[in-house]
Amino acid sequence: MPISIAAFVISIILLTVVVPFIVIMHYMTKWKATKGLSEDEQRMLEDLWKEGQAMQSRVNALETILDNESPDWRKRQ
| pLDDT score, position 77 | 65
* DSSP percent split of the chain into helix, strand, coil, nearest 5: 80, 0, 20
**Cα(16)–Cα(25) distance, rounded to whole angstroms?**
15
| pLDDT score, position 1 | 63
pLDDT per position as a tens digit, 62-76: 999 999 998 888 887
pTM of the shown model: 0.52
pLDDT per position as a tens digit, 3-58: 888 899 999 999 999 999 999 999 999 888 878 888 899 999 999 999 999 999 99
| pLDDT score, position 37 | 80
Residue among 53, 52, 54, 74 at smallest CA distance from 63: 74
